Structures are given as structure tokens and as C-alpha cells.
Amino acid sequence: MTGADAVPRTGARAAVSATVSAEWRRRADGLFPGGVNSPVRAYRAVGGEPPIIVRGEGPRVWDADGVEHLDYVGAFGPLIVGHAHPRVVAAVTEQAARGGPFGATSPGEVELAERIREALPSMERLRFVSSGTEAVMSALRLARAATGRDLIAKFEGGYHGHVDSLLAQAGSGLATLALPASAGVPGSVASGTLLARYNDLAAVRALFEAYGEGIAAVIVEPVAANMGVVPPAPGFLEDLRAVTRDHGALLIFDEVITGFRVARGGAQARYGVLPDLTTLGKVIGGGLPVGAYGGRSDLMALIAPSGPVYQAGTLSGHPLAMAAGCATLDLLDADLYDRLEARSAVLEAGLREAIEGAGITASVSRVGSLLTLFFRATPPRDFDEVREADAAAFARFHAAMRDAAILLPPASQEAWFVSATHTGADIERTITAARSALQP
Ligand code: PMP
């Protein structure tokens, strides 16, 4: 297995990992490319054997050898109320007994959409799909149809799913595999995508000067979270709003990670900037496969069958996902966000102290319960600065934390996801572990 021996395993865990988990990995290796169904799970950016997880509860997961880990992967975003929250489990179980999907509208779709629109009023109308990728793909198609223009501008290090046209200078797994873009994307498709530096309005203006009337939309993660967490510079989102409006282009906020995460109303509520279209995923499905896109009702009226933009899905608005989503959103009250903010702030401060105590070059970037420790003196402001961080140092840190039974996302350019179930004691344990893991 590539990467399996990059970081030697030590102690008791090495002995057990040679048993049950190893056997599952062997079987998975024979079935899936790289042994996984999504690239980052292969641990190639950090080395070590990828875990096989059999169970989760609250902030904890258990691997196939029965080893308990404190989890900051959080399934890469959906699990803001932790693993197997009893209310989510009950909602899904009850719905499963009622059957579905039905190939017809069912009440759960209406109930979840009403909750979403209440939190994000800019989504005047919306449509459910089955993944964040699909939501983005559909929003781009709509933007092109609405403007009669073909070009899309995105930011270096921004990840918007594996949409063909957006696999250029993308973050997430693409970045940590050091692929500039994916093979198999026709040049004609990639050339419809323009790139700008995140947090650099001059770069966006330059694109509009060069391609002005051709740009259908600018798509942005309003808090970049797929190159590690990189907050928007003050005024950046406001400026993007103004520039796109001035040029007749749409502004799309990809809130697949930030929606219901950095605030109940997402980044658009946190920063007070409203896009034309929004894409959602992750939290709104409570861990089940879901995505949504929506926005101005005049734009959404272009979607079939009310308009000419085709978009459909056998499993769209799946009753199980709607049930999990509603149960999750119902848990997300102001107290919960306050608690998440407070716990995450303690984690941030503790990591900063640990960095200082160890005398190493590192920094912490955080927005709400999204956090990244960068092995770089100051928090990066764009993808170039992200790439200056020391990936080998992160790999060593990741392995040391894993030896302390703390699972961090297995790449330096991913966010850690704090959940509402991480207790003060969990956070303290994490800081204590980091203190020794960061020793040079
Ligand atoms: N947009 C953003 C901002 C994301 O973080 C992701 C996934 N990490 C996607 C889109 C794609 O979502 P999915 O993996 O559900 O297709």
C-alpha cells in the first residue's frame, strides 16, 4: 500500500493494526483505486495506514481493532452534532420504516427547505440534489443560462467538488496530491475557467477587465476551507459583491462547508454579504448524501420544469437525508453555536500556546468551529502562502497526534471540524497531546 510505511507505527497499536484493520485494508485495496472511495482517505499526504472505522458516537470513533479515537475529521464537515446523535438516529430510523424514496415529493423536502430558507433568506427558491458537487455543477449551469455567458471565475485553492470545469488549481485532495488539475478534463472545458488569487480583489478586477462581458459567475468559498482555513480579508466579500454586480456577473457562494457551520445562516450571515446563488451540502444532510443550490427566485425560475435549464435526480430530496437534515438543523440553536465558538476558541488558544512553548514555526487559523494548524509563521492569506507551509512537519504532527488517539484530517490543507459534542475535557486532552506532538 503506497504511503503505508511512510510513518512507522510504534507500540501496542502497531501490534493490533496488523490484525483486523489490516485485513479490511487488504480487501479494500483489491477493490478500490488506492483502496478508498475518496482520495484523501488514503492518507497519502501524511503517510501511515489509513484507519478502518466501524463506529462513531459523539466526538469519538472506533477503528476495526477496537481502538477509540477522538475525531476532528467529522466526516469532513457534516457532523456538527457529532456521530450518531440520538435525535438524528431516531429521525432516520422512523423515516426508514415509512419507506422511500417515492419518486414524488414528500413532506421532509418541504420541511428541510423551509428551515434552510429561514436561515439563508437569499435562497428564495432552492433545489435538493445528492452531493455538493452536483449542487455546484447545477448552479454553474444556471449561471451560464441566466447570463448567456460561458466563463466562470474561481479562486486558487478553492474546491467546489469534482466538477470537470472547476478542477483547476483546486484545494482539498487535489492540492495534497499535488495535481495541478485532473487528467481527463478536456482542455476546452478547463479553458472556460478563470483563476484568481483568493483575497486579491485586484486579480478579480483584472479578470473582469480582460474578459468582462464573458464572465457568467464568480464562485467562491466565502471562508476558504479546502486549502486549510483561510478567512476572507476584511472587505473582500463586499468587494466581490460589488464587482460582480457592476459587470453583470453572478456571485455564487459555495457554502457546502460553511453553511450552518460558521453561523446558522452560513458565511453570508456571518459577514453580511448576500450572493445571487448559494450551494450547500454536508451539515444540511446530517451525514447523509445531500446537496442543495438556490438563490434569487428569478434565477431559480429558469430551472426545469419551470424553465429551460435541465437538472434532475432519482434520489434528490431523499427522505432519509431530509429526516437527518431536519433533525440536525433543529439542534443548531444559538446556544449550540456559542458553545462551539467557545470550545473552538479554547482549542485555538491552546494550540497557539503549544506552538510558542515548543518554539516552532507554526500558526493557527480559525473561523468558528473550522480550524487549521499551519506549519508557517503566520496564517496564510492565499493558496501560494498555504503552499509555503511545511507539509512534512504536518505529517509528523499528524502521526504523533494519531499515536495519542486523536484523529486529525489527514492533510495539512484541510480544516479540523470541532463538533458540539467535543467537551471541554476533550479539548484539553487535544491541547495536551499537541503540546508534546509539536516538540521539535
Ligand atoms: N464545495 C465545497 C466547498 C466542498 O468543501 C465540497 C466537498 N468537500 C464540495 C463542494 C463537494 O461536495 P461533495 O463532496 O458532497 O460532492
pLDDT one-digit tens code per residue, 31-66: 999 999 999 999 999 999 999 999 999 999 999 999
- Give the integer Cα–Cα distance in Å for 22 and 278: 41
Give residue 279 CA to ligand 1 midpoint distance, Å.
9
For residue 302, what pLDDT band results from cuts at 50, 70 and 90?
very high
Residue 164 bears catalytic tag: no
Burial class of residue 362 in the structure, from the number of CB atoms within 10 Å of its CB (0-12 exposed, 13-18 middle, 19+ buried): buried
Task: Please state the rounded mean pLDDT for residues 252-261.
Answer: 98
Give residue 30 CA to ligand 1 midpoint distance, Å.
27
Atom nearest to 282 CA in ligand 1: 15
Q: How far is CA 100 from CA 87, 105, 291, 319, 342, in A?
A: 20, 10, 18, 6, 39
What proportion of the chain, given as a percentage, has pLDDT over 70?
Answer: 93
Give residue 77 CA to ligand 1 midpoint distance, Å.
9
Give residue 435 CA to ligand 1 midpoint distance, Å.
32
pLDDT at 13 over 60: no
pLDDT of 18 reads 62
Any idea which residue has 466581490 for its cell?
240
96 or 172, greater pLDDT: 96
Atom nearest to 76 CA in ligand 1: 8
Atom nearest to 291 CA in ligand 1: 15
pLDDT of 180 reads 57
Identify the active-site residue in 63, 65, 71, 254: 254
For residue 6, what pLDDT band results from cuts at 50, 70 and 90?
very low
- Written as nine digits, the cell of 245 is 454586480
Identify the active-site residue in 71, 198, 282, 426: 282
Give residue 293 CA to ligand 1 midpoint distance, Å.
12
Which of 253, 278, 282, 290 has most ligand 1 atoms within 8 Å of its beta carbon, as the pocket-test mutant?
282
- Give the integer Cα–Cα distance in Å for 154 and 322: 30
Which of 130, 133, 167 has most ligand 1 atoms within 8 Å of its beta carbon, as the pocket-test mutant?
133
Contacts of 56 (CB under 8 A, 6+ apart): 62, 71, 79, 82, 83, 84
pLDDT one-digit tens code per residue, 304-317: 999 999 999 999 99
- Written as nine digits, the cell of 420 is 458540539
pLDDT at 138 over 50: yes
Instruction: Output the residue whose Cα is nearest ligand 1's atom 13.
Output: 132
- Which H or E element spans position 266? helix 266-271
Ligand 1, CB cutoff 6 Å, lining residues? 76, 131-133, 136, 159-161, 172, 221, 226, 254, 256-257, 281, 291
pLDDT of 2 reads 35
Residue 282 bears catalytic tag: yes
pLDDT at 4 over 50: no
pLDDT one-digit tens code per residue, 145-191: 999 999 999 999 999 999 988 887 777 776 655 455 788 888 888 88
Task: Please state the rounded mean pLDDT for residues 285-298.
Answer: 98
pLDDT of 83 reads 98
- Give the integer Cα–Cα distance in Å for 163 and 150: 15
- Give the integer Cα–Cα distance in Å for 421 and 406: 15
Which of 152, 160, 284 has most ligand 1 atoms within 8 Å of its beta carbon, as the pocket-test mutant?
160
**CATH numbers and ranges of domains, the chain:** 3-84+333-437 (3.90.1150.10), 86-330 (3.40.640.10)
pLDDT at 12 over 60: no
DSSP-derived secondary structure for 73-114: -GGGTT-TT-BT-HHHHHHHHHHHHH----SS--HHHHHHHH
pLDDT one-digit tens code per residue, 193-224: 999 999 999 999 999 999 988 999 999 999 99
Residue 295 DSSP code? E
Give residue 219 CA to ligand 1 midpoint distance, Å.
13
pLDDT of 17 reads 47
Dihedral sign for Cα atoms in the order 194, 195, 198, 203: negative
Asked whether 284 and 258 are in contact (CB, 8 A), the reply is: no
pLDDT at 438 over 80: yes
